[in-house]
Structures are given as C-alpha cells and as structure tokens.
Amino acid sequence: MMPVLKVTDLHVYFDTSAGTVRANNGVTLEVREGESLGIMGESGCGKTVLFLSLLHLQQPGRIVRGSVELDGRDITRLDESEMERLRGRVIALVPQNQATALNPAYTIRQQLTEALKVSRSGGSLGSLSSRRSNDYADSEEQFKRVFEDLGFEAGPVLDRLLRSYPHQLSGGMRQRVLIAMALLMRPRLLIADEPTTALDRAIKAQSLNTLQRLRGSLTMLVISHDVEAISATCDRVAIMYGGRVIESGSCTDVLSRPRHPYTRLLLAAQRRTRGEPLSAIAADTLNLIDFPRGCPFHPACLEAMPVCALETPPEHLTDDAMVACHRYNVEAD
Ligand SMILES: Nc1ncnc2c1ncn2[C@@H]1O[C@H](COP(=O)(O)OP(=O)(O)OP(=O)(O)O)[C@@H](O)[C@H]1O
Ligand SMILES: [Mg+2]
C-alpha cells in the first residue's frame, strides 16, 4: 500500500555567515496509513527542520535535494498557495508550545469555530477574523465529537472549557485544545512536535494518554527526544543523528534491541537521566558546517572501524527495519 508520507533523501541546508549548515542530510522515511511513527534524536539532530520542510516553513533553509511525497504526490516544489491549502487541512501540526500557540484574545469556542471554517472553506489558519461564526449550526456537535475522541465527556465541563480563554486553562488542557483543533480539520497526517516537553509528569501522562487514544485511527508523526513518549504513542520509530535517519523499525525492536551504536548510547543516556532532559551525547561534537567524512557518528563511536571514517554507511534493510552502520554490512557479507 502506498504510504501517506514518503520522504526520500531530503537535504535541507541553511546558508550562514559561518558557512552552510547541513541540517538535514538525506532523510529517508515512510509513514503508512493509520500508523504512528516516532522521530527521536538529540537536540540539533534536525527533527524540527524536517517537519518544517514538509510544510515549506523551514525558511531561510533550502531544500537542496530529495523529495517529499504525500499520498504519492511530490509536494517539494508546490507553490505557496498550494501549500496553504495543504497546511492544517491535510497535514495538521500540534505545535510544541501550548502556552503561546492559542490566541489569548479569543475563547476556545471561537478558535475552534475558526478552525472548522478553515477546514470547510479553504484559506489558512492563523488570522482570526471578525467574520461571524453563527452559521455553523453543527459546530457544537463537531466539538463534542473531537473532545469525545480525546476522552472528554460532553457536559458542563466541556461547556465551561469552550467558554474559557486560553489563560484560564492548565497547560495539559491547552494542549488537548490544540489537538482538538488539529483533529477538526480531519487531516491525513497529524504531526505532534515534542508533545511532552515542558509538561510536568501528571500532565505529561494526560498528554500521552490523549495521543494514545488517537493511535490506530489516525496517521501520526510524533517528534520527541523522550523514549517514554515515543514508546507510549508510536508503532515504529526512526532515530535521527546528524540530519539523517540512522536506524528505524518497530518500537518494540528498536527500543528493546537497538542495533546502531548511537541508538544504544541514546537509550542508555535516557535511562540514566529518566525524567530529566536528555544530556548531550554526541550531537554537540558534530559540526554541521564542516561535516565529517564517512559516518557522521564515527568520531564519537566506541565501535568505529577504519571504513567508518571513509565511507557513508549505506542503509542496511531487514524486513521492516533499517540500520545505517558499517558493522551490519560487514556482518551481512
Ligand atoms: N535558521 C537557521 N539557521 C542556521 N542553522 C539552523 C537554522 N535552523 C536550524 N538550524 C540548525 O539545524 C540543526 C537542526 O536543528 P533542529 O531545530 O531541526 O534540531 P532539533 O532536532 O529539532 O532539536 P531540538 O530537540 O532542540 O528541538 C541545528 O544544528 C540548528 O542549529
Ligand atoms: Mg526541535
């Protein structure tokens, strides 16, 4: 079956006064219908640049090579008006910062109504207009439906929520509103950027629970550096390092039996720092301007071989898993 999203060899560079920053260096991945794919990696590995590039929002970065296909159609070179029709409605984003993503001047009901209008009429989200919103008779039904999907019973609590302004809600509740807003658009693909960052433990659990409910019924891309968030919400995971996917496979396999030396280090560091932000392992030492030859991880790799400094490791594929590491090519030969 054709994947919903297929990214092939995507290269995204930023020109800076210090030189060209190679933020994405050949990202290849697929998200299949109804599955939830996690993208995991340290700060700076290129996660945000990747999803911004899918939406053509990576300015001032430029896509220098590669393709992004949505339901088989290459969207890499669509113009801005075509992308506007796609953003929100076909690819919806749950932004990272729930504290600032909602408009403080409007109630939740007004903001959800606007999202509904956009999903039906075209145009883009982001400019709450003074248009009247009374001609959406079934909008309340729609709101109930999406909140029910998120585990929220219709009743006085929901009524109060819809009447509230963003500042009257907790962080967890604002995040559910953002997810509800994305769901109202009935998107083909939902991207959640760092859904648990900056949330305390109780709210984090709520947030994961919300995403878990959607799992299976929606095609999702969950971006996180947190193994707990990925394993709770994803079927498959892609590990990024140096702007590239270096290992992917089912969550069960990759998280319990990581094969790439970097993935093993990443998971070990998470176990040590459980609950705390992930400490830098190797990304700090990687220079994205003066990119090392061979495998980008080889200078920090405890298992590096001479070939690792010379040649970029090819993708080694087995069944549903991929690892880009010379060790596996040697073993396979
Ligand atoms: N506008 C820009 N100009 C120059 N370099 C940039 C720009 N935006 C991003 N980068 C660089 O691209 C690399 C990837 O950044 P990105 O934001 O995608 O990382 P990330 O994986 O999302 O990290 P985090 O977990 O901290 O969100 C970083 O080294 C970053 O400094
Ligand atoms: Mg990021």
Lowest pLDDT segment from 4-8, 118-122, 215-219, 273-277:
273-277
Q: Which two tokens stand for residue 176?
A: 């559910």
| Residues with C-beta atoms within 5 A of ion ligand 2 | 47-48
Mean pLDDT across 1-18: 94
Pairing of β 189-193 and β 220-224: parallel
In this predicted model, what pLDDT tens digit does every residue of 131-176 receive, in sequence order?
444 555 688 888 998 898 888 888 898 999 999 999 999 888 888 8
pLDDT number for residue 46: 93
Band (281; pLDDT cuts 50, 70, 90): low
Q: Closest Cα to atom 18, ligand 1: which residue? A: 46
Q: Any idea which ligand is nearest the CA of 41?
A: 1
Q: Closest Cα to atom 4, ligand 1: which residue? A: 14
Looking at ligand 1, which atom is closest to the CA of residue 21?
Answer: 5
pLDDT number for residue 132: 47
Q: Any idea which ligand is nearest the CA of 46?
A: 1
Q: In this prediction, what percent of the chain has a pLDDT beyond 90?
A: 54
Q: Name the region of 294 (left: φ>0; alpha: ψ -120 to 50; beta: rest).
A: left
Q: How many angstroms is it from 145 CA to the middle of ligand 2?
A: 31
Domains and CATH numbers, the chain: 1-90+187-202+211-291 (3.40.50.300), 99-186 (no CATH)
Q: How many angstroms is it from 14 CA to the middle of ligand 1?
A: 10
Q: Closest Cα to atom 19, ligand 1: which residue? A: 44
Mean pLDDT across 303-323: 93
Q: Which residue has the higher pLDDT, 273 or 60?
A: 60
